[in-house]
Amino acid sequence: MARYRGPRLRITRRLGTDLPGLTRKMSDRAYPPGQHGQGRQKFSEFKKQLYEKQKLRFNYGISEKQLRNIFTDARRSKDPAGLVLLRLLEQRLDNVIFRLGLAPSIPAARQLVVHRHILVDGKKVDRPSYRVQVGSNISVRPKSRQLQIVSESVANPVLRLPSYLEFDQKTLTGKMTQLPDREDVPLEVDEQLVVEYYSPRL
């Protein structure tokens, strides 16, 4: 399943939660879209698991295959798989650019990476899925620092800076100082349900 490119607000309404990585717009409707959206919904255990999994997919803007692969990596760790899954998602370069406040959303951050506006430890990296490590320095190329999307995002960040990052607004340089923790994840999600969704399928 490819990355979603449809109406973003529709997704937040369907899942019943804000997805800051996808869009800063918030729906004032507490029910899903469609003519039957206001009816009372009964969720099976499977549907609960599916919804939690979809929250991660859409917030971080990744395909089903990518999320599956990240979960496979998370399950190899000695730490709880759910925590490691969230940590690995937060370590994606496109997410780090967004969390530093250099882009208004993860899709916008992905474009900055793909178009080679971003440096990691002084080298161009054009893979949004690149996994940023503790101690890595992330910066905007000197020629790209005047981009409107960057200057506007820095002036009006969507989220507060998480505990695992440092950021120098003058030089547009950030650093990952520690691994992301559970409290750094900016959306409401039950990662254990995601673990329960994938475990019997992998």
pLDDT tens across the length of the chain (202 residues): 455 555 556 666 777 778 888 876 655 544 454 444 454 456 799 999 999 999 999 999 999 999 999 999 999 999 999 999 999 999 999 999 999 999 999 999 999 999 999 999 999 999 999 999 999 999 999 999 999 999 999 999 989 999 999 999 999 999 999 999 999 999 999 999 999 999 998 8
CB 17 within 8 A of CB 48: no
String of DSSP letters for 156-178: S-SSPPPTTEEEETTTTEEEE-S
CA distance 64 to 66: 5
In this prediction the pTM is 0.87
Mean pLDDT of the chain: 89
CB 33 within 8 A of CB 14: yes
Percentage of the residues of the chain whose pLDDT score is greater than 70: 84
CB 202 within 8 A of CB 72: yes
pLDDT of residue 8: 56
pLDDT of residue 2: 56
Strands (DSSP E) contained in 14-135 are 118-120, 123-124
pLDDT of residue 109: 98
CA distance 58 to 64: 10
CB 93 within 8 A of CB 118: yes
Question: Which among 23, 132, 48, 24 is positioned nearest to 87, based on CA atoms?
Answer: 132
Q: Which domains does the chain have, with CATH numbers?
A: 8-88+186-201 (1.10.1050.10), 92-178 (3.10.290.10)
pLDDT of residue 22: 80
Environment class of residue 145 by beta-carbon count within 10 Å: exposed (0-12), middle (13-18) or buried (19+)? middle
What six digits make up the tokens of 169? 């607004």
